[in-house]
Chain A
Amino acid sequence: MIENQTASGEAPLSPVIELAGADIVALRDGALCVLEKVEWTVRAGEFWVVAGQQQTGKSDLLMTAAGLLLPASGACRVFGCDTKNFGEAQLAERLRVGFVFPGGQLFRQLTVAENVALPLRYHKNLSAAEVAAEVAALLEQLELTPLAQSLPADLAAHWRLRAALARALILRPELLVLDHPLGGLGARHREWLRQFLDRLWRGQVWPDGRPMTLVVSADDLRPWADADKRFAVLHEKTFSVVGSWPEVACAQNLAVKELLAEPASAMN
Chain B
Amino acid sequence: MKLEKDFDHSTARIYAVDMRGPLAESFILTKTPVFHRAPLPKTYTDFIGHKLFRFLLTIQGLGAFALITLGVLLKKQGVAREVMQPRVRQEITRAGVALLPMFLFVALALGFLVIGQTISALAKVGATNYLGATMVIVIVRELGPLLAAMLVLARVGTANVIELGTARALGEVEALEALGIDPVHYLIVPRVIGLALGIFALTIYLIIGSLASGYLFAFLQDVPLKPGDYFRQIAEALDWLDFALLAVKTIAFGFFIAVVTCYHGLAQPLRLEDVSRVAVRAVTQGVIVCVLVDAFFIVWYLLT
Q: A residues within 8 Å of B by Cβ?
A: 27-28, 63, 66, 68, 88, 91, 94-95, 97-99, 101, 103, 105-108, 118-119, 121-123, 164, 167-168, 171
- Contacting residue for B181 out of A63, A105, A108, A118, CB 8 A: A118
- Contacting residue for A103 out of B82, B171, B177, B186, CB 8 A: B171
Q: B109-134, CB under 8 A of A: which get 1 and which 0?
A: 00000000000000000000000000
B271's nearest neighbour on chain A, judged by CB, is A28
Cβ distance B76 to chain A, nearest Cβ, rounded Å = 9
Q: Is B272 engaged at the interface, CB distance under 8 Å to the other chain?
A: no
Asked, given contacts A68-B178, A94-B180, whether A121 binds B82 with beta carbons under 8 Å apart, the answer is yes
- Interface residues of A: mostly helix, strand, loop or mixed? mixed
Q: Say yes or no: B83 contacts A101, CB within 8 Å.
A: no
Q: Known pairs A63-B174, A122-B179, A164-B175. 4 more at Cβ < 8 A?
A: A97-B178, A105-B175, A121-B82, A123-B180
Cβ distance B159 to chain A, nearest Cβ, rounded Å = 12
A95 and B180 CA atoms in complex are apart in Å by 6
Q: Say yes or no: B174 contacts A122, CB within 8 Å.
A: no
Q: Say yes or no: A107 contacts B172, CB within 8 Å.
A: yes
- Contacting residue for A119 out of B172, B179, B182, CB 8 A: B179
A51 and B152 CA atoms in complex are apart in Å by 49
Q: Is B292 engaged at the interface, CB distance under 8 Å to the other chain?
A: no
Question: B122-179: which have CB < 8 Å to A?
Answer: 167, 170-172, 174-175, 177-179
A107's nearest neighbour on chain B, judged by CB, is B172
- Contacting residue for B179 out of A27, A63, A88, A167, CB 8 A: A167
Residues of chain B contacted by A105 (CB below 8 angstroms): 170-172, 174-175
B75's nearest neighbour on chain A, judged by CB, is A88
Cβ distance A5 to chain B, nearest Cβ, rounded Å = 28
Asked, given contacts A105-B171, A105-B172, A107-B172, whether A66 binds B178 with beta carbons under 8 Å apart, the answer is yes
Give 28 CB contacts A-B under 8 Å. Answer: A88-B182, A94-B180, A97-B178, A101-B171, A101-B174, A103-B170, A103-B171, A105-B170, A105-B172, A105-B174, A105-B175, A106-B175, A107-B167, A107-B172, A107-B175, A108-B167, A118-B179, A119-B179, A119-B180, A122-B83, A122-B179, A122-B181, A122-B186, A123-B80, A164-B175, A167-B179, A168-B179, A171-B180
Residues of chain B contacted by A122 (CB below 8 angstroms): 80, 83, 179-181, 186
A108 and B172 CA atoms in complex are apart in Å by 9
Q: Say yes or no: A68 contacts B180, CB within 8 Å.
A: no
A177's nearest neighbour on chain B, judged by CB, is B178
A121 and B86 CA atoms in complex are apart in Å by 12
Q: B60-97, CB under 8 A of A: which get 1 and which 0?
A: 00000000000000000000101100000000000000
Q: B residues within 8 Å of A by Cβ?
A: 80, 82-83, 167, 170-172, 174-175, 177-182, 186, 269
Residues of chain A contacted by B82 (CB below 8 angstroms): 121
B81's nearest neighbour on chain A, judged by CB, is A125
B270's nearest neighbour on chain A, judged by CB, is A28
Q: Say yes or no: A121 contacts B83, CB within 8 Å.
A: yes
Residues of chain A contacted by B171 (CB below 8 angstroms): 101, 103, 105
Q: Say yes or no: B269 contacts A101, CB within 8 Å.
A: no
Residues of chain B contacted by A119 (CB below 8 angstroms): 179-181
Q: Say yes or no: A68 contacts B172, CB within 8 Å.
A: no
Q: Say yes or no: A68 contacts B177, CB within 8 Å.
A: yes
B181's nearest neighbour on chain A, judged by CB, is A122
A98 and B172 CA atoms in complex are apart in Å by 15
Residues of chain B contacted by A168 (CB below 8 angstroms): 178-179
Residues of chain B contacted by A66 (CB below 8 angstroms): 178
Cβ distance A116 to chain B, nearest Cβ, rounded Å = 11
Residues of chain B contacted by A95 (CB below 8 angstroms): 180
A166 and B161 CA atoms in complex are apart in Å by 29
B90's nearest neighbour on chain A, judged by CB, is A109
Cβ distance A208 to chain B, nearest Cβ, rounded Å = 22
A94 and B178 CA atoms in complex are apart in Å by 8
A123's nearest neighbour on chain B, judged by CB, is B180
A62 and B169 CA atoms in complex are apart in Å by 19
A164 and B171 CA atoms in complex are apart in Å by 13
Q: Say yes or no: A99 contacts B80, CB within 8 Å.
A: no
A108 and B272 CA atoms in complex are apart in Å by 15
A144 and B104 CA atoms in complex are apart in Å by 46
A99 and B178 CA atoms in complex are apart in Å by 6
A97 and B182 CA atoms in complex are apart in Å by 16
A104's nearest neighbour on chain B, judged by CB, is B175
A167 and B175 CA atoms in complex are apart in Å by 10
A164 and B176 CA atoms in complex are apart in Å by 12
Residues of chain B contacted by A171 (CB below 8 angstroms): 179-180
Q: Say yes or no: B80 contacts A121, CB within 8 Å.
A: yes
Residues of chain A contacted by B80 (CB below 8 angstroms): 121-123
A99 and B179 CA atoms in complex are apart in Å by 8
B186's nearest neighbour on chain A, judged by CB, is A122
A63 and B180 CA atoms in complex are apart in Å by 14
